Structure 1
Amino acid sequence: MSKGRVLLGMSGGVDSSVAAMMLQKDGYEVVGLTFIFSELKEQNEFAVKEAQKLAQEIGIEHFVCDLRSEFTKLIVNYFTQEYQKGRTPFPCAICNPELKFKNLLKNAEIYHCNYIATGHYARIKKHKGKQYIFEGTDTEKDQSFFLWGLDKEVLNKLILPLGALNKMQTREYANTLGFSCLSQKKDSLGICFIEENNYRKFLKSKCIEFKRGYFVDKEGRVLGRHSGILNYTIGQRRGLGISANKPMFVSGISATTNEIVLSDYEDLYKNKILVSNMKCVDIQEFDKDKVFIVRIRYRLQNTPCKINILHKDQAIVYLLEPVAMVANGQTAVFYDGNRLVGGGFIESSE
């Protein structure tokens, strides 16, 4: 007997393909859905072709959903505007809750599916009666960091088949079932809608102006000329094009004054962050004296912190260990052990 119909987001890659086979083996009636987001024609055609091929081979329904217009309005415009504001955008944090999972849920209704699923390396389970995202068991591949914005309506219907696997096990699973071609596929890297991961070239293609301005030190003294704030990121040292008697790093970017602040590396360390657009499963658990773990980067960073909720979508995060290179516009993601409890966008740090 079927456990129910599940709508699976299929990219044509090994992860979502193995997720489809695992769900099918576990007794679900799988329906595949491939989203078309970007204007990269070759990439879109490849994803659809590969997903359709697998769907046919394992005997599941497959559909395509064209979201290019919505993606441009929501993600591409956000991406370009954030850079123009001197911030560092993180498009996945918008795309996952506002586009990908929202449309999975919407299409699940259309195709009469009880559940939705993806090939993310994370787990979902209950804690005190509520559904939460947990880290995947493979800490090197864990993708819970990208899922903090999902609301309870999504979490209550979400299945994550790959949460207990590592990447090697996923490839071996494909091999075992006779899909060796899948196991050899490379992981996709970088920003999905930007060719060669060259964001500067992408911004120029959108006619975004790279206006020259000044490098200044912490006291506002001019150190030289920069080639446009869009060319620089917090913590950058190389490619500044100035002469100095010591290493200098980008510690601040101001769109208002069109200035780049340079300083010593020690000045990159911060111990307090203001977070906005905060989302969480249960705001009541954010006791200001409780210690959580915060990540401001996907990998290799877990920092103990305390969180003071100012109101429902804004918080001050006190870092118990200073963290370098905190960029406005990036995300702060909070954990209680390996349970993801919330996250938000970094507005400022000090």
Structure 2
Amino acid sequence: MSGGVDSSVSAILLQQQGYNVQGVYMRNWDTADERGVCTSEEDYRDVQSVCKALDIPCRRIDFTKQYWNQVFQKTIDDYELGITPNPDVMCNREIKFGALLENCMANTRAGAGQEVWFATGHYARIQRADGAVKLLRGVDRTKDQSYYLSSVDERAYSRVMFPLGHLPKTAVKGLALEHGLESIVKKPESMGICFVGKRTHFADFLSQYINAQPGPAVDPNGKVIGQHRGLFAYTIGQGAHIHHGTDRWFVAGKVTKTNSLICVPGTNHPLLFADRVNARQWIWINGEPLGLSKPGDTLELDGQIRYRQSPLKCTVEKMSDGTFAVQFHTPIRGIAPGQNVVVWDGDWCLGGGVIDNVDNNKDASNEVLT
């Protein structure tokens, strides 16, 4: 339980279905936000309030060390390399459905004839059929979170339930109000890095952990048009905040060996679009599909490179080095190395990988982009 409406309603639904519900709160971060408020303590008080109202036990587990070592430090390492990681995907694999799931399974006592299950407030569904445990999209496509769950393998999902997967967000809020949880419903939705929260000035937050190295901001031909504050502070596709001429400049690439930030004029510049990525560290939730058994094999699927993006048709190809290439049928704006590309067969989430490189719409004259 996080102290938010989704996990609170999940507990309510499970209790209504006759389960012996126990609440667990996970503390992963121990510093205050920009207001000087420790949001972790605020959230835990909300969890305790909900558990008291439902008359269920509640305990708190501290994973700040594990989160730092397994998620946050790796996130910082990636930013220092000039790539843009997705710590939420990593957190689900390493912490929520890793360390926390293992802890709950090992330390939860079940009554005679009872089994221990692990439930969260994610908008996704689990399908169990023919010996397989499949991750499916949530029914509410505007809230579907299967993208963030794409790197958790089938073994972890074998004892997992998602009580909200079949509900729209509006119904979840309605249930919360019916049970007197007005204050929980009014809370803003969690945003930003998993457990770190939303930071008003994210680059400033990262600069506390990264040694910023300013460098040249250049156009696609290598002409210096300004200075950047450090490659970690910029994401592909976003505004570069470079003042040069009358154009508005956007980030199209990063060159770590020269510490250069590649910028292009205009939000729809061709270099901001790409249709093919290569991904490493690929995880197939239910094992590698039979259609991709050898290098050169291809499979037609739906793919996304970010949360809430509309799924796009794509072709996945197995490469000789064990990575997978994803060719989208439609170019996508602002693909950033380090992000996750995830694929589905209909509603069935098959898995995904970390984007290693991107094929931009560039010609041979644009040597600076390499």
TM-score of the superposed pair, with normalisation by structure 2: 0.86
Contact 1:252/1:261 (<8 A) preserved: yes
- Residue of structure 2 aligned with 1:62, choices 45, 58, 62: 58
**Match of 1:233, SS?**
coil
Q: How far off is 1:24 after superposition?
A: 0.9
Asked if 2 retains the 8 angstrom alpha-carbon contact of 1:279 and 1:313, the reply is no
Shift of 1:231: 2.5
Structure 1 residue 77 and structure 2 residue 73: aligned?
Answer: yes
Query: CA offsets, 1:283-326, max 9 Å, x none?
Result: 12444443111101111332111111236962111111111111
**How far apart, in 2, do the equivalents of 1:194 and 1:138 lie?**
24
Distance 1:166 1:116 in 2: 21
Match of 1:43 in 2: 39
- In structure 1, stretches of 5+ residues that fail to align are 1-9
AA of the residue aligned to 1:25: Q
CA contact (8 A) 1:286 1:309 kept: no
Q: Structure 1 178/97 Cα, relative in aligned 2: closer, same or farther at 3 Å?
A: same
Q: Which amino acid aligns with 1:259?
A: S
Structure-2 change in CA distance of 1:127 and 1:312 (3 Å): farther
RMSD after superposition: 1.9
**Which residue identity does 1:185 align to in structure 2?**
K
Structure 1: distance between partners of 2:71 and 2:200: 16
Give the match for residue 333 of structure 1.
Answer: 342
For 1:92, the equivalent position in structure 2 comes to: 88
Unaligned segments of structure 2, at least 5 residues? 33-37, 111-115, 360-370
In structure 1, what is the equivalent of residue 262 of structure 2? 261
Whether contact under 8 Å (1:104, 1:116) holds in the other structure is no
One-letter amino acid matched to 1:21: I
Correspondence for 1:176: 178
Instruction: Note if 1:196 corresponds to 2:192.
Output: no
**SS of 2:21 mapped into structure 1:** strand
Q: Determine helix, strand or coil for the equivalent of 2:127.
A: strand
Asked whether the 8 Å contact 1:252–1:262 carries over to 2, the reply is yes
- Identity among equivalent positions (%) equals 29
**Matches of 1:313 and 1:125 in 2, distance apart?**
28
* C-alpha contact (below 8 Å) 1:84/1:255 kept by paired residues: no
Specify which of 276, 286, 293 is matched with residue 272 of structure 1: 276
* Contact kept? 1:286, 1:307, Cα under 8 Å: no
Give 3-state SS (helix, strand or coil) of 1:210's partner.
Answer: coil
SS class of match (1:290): strand
Asked whether the equivalents of residues 214 and 226 of structure 1 are also in contact (C-alpha less than 8 Å), the reply is yes
Match of 2:338, SS?
A: coil
Counterpart residue number, 2:13: 22
Cα pair 2:6 2:122 within 8 Å, conserved:
yes
Partner of 1:4: none
Q: Secondary structure at the match of 2:176?
A: helix
Where in structure 2 are the equivalents of 1:104-253 lying within 5 Å?
A: 104-107=100-103, 108-112=105-109, 114-126=116-128, 128-191=130-193, 192-194=195-197, 196-206=199-209, 208-243=210-245, 246-253=247-254
Aligned AA (1:80): I
* 1:127–1:272 distance in 2 versus 1, CA, 3 Å: farther
d(CA) in 1 for partners of 2:45, 2:173: 20
Shift of 1:180: 3.1
Q: 1:83 to 1:177 in 2, by over 3 A?
A: same
**TM-aligned CA deviation for residue 116 of structure 1:** 0.6
Aligned partners of 1:124 and 1:134 also within 8 Å:
yes
| 1:250 to partner: Cα distance | 1.4
**1:291/1:140 Cα in 2 relative to 1: closer, same or farther (>3 Å)?**
same
Partner Cα separation in structure 2 for residue 48 and residue 12 of structure 1: 6
- TM-score under structure 1 normalisation? 0.91
Match of 2:363? none
CA distance in 1, matches of 2:154, 2:217: 45
One-letter code aligned to 2:44: V
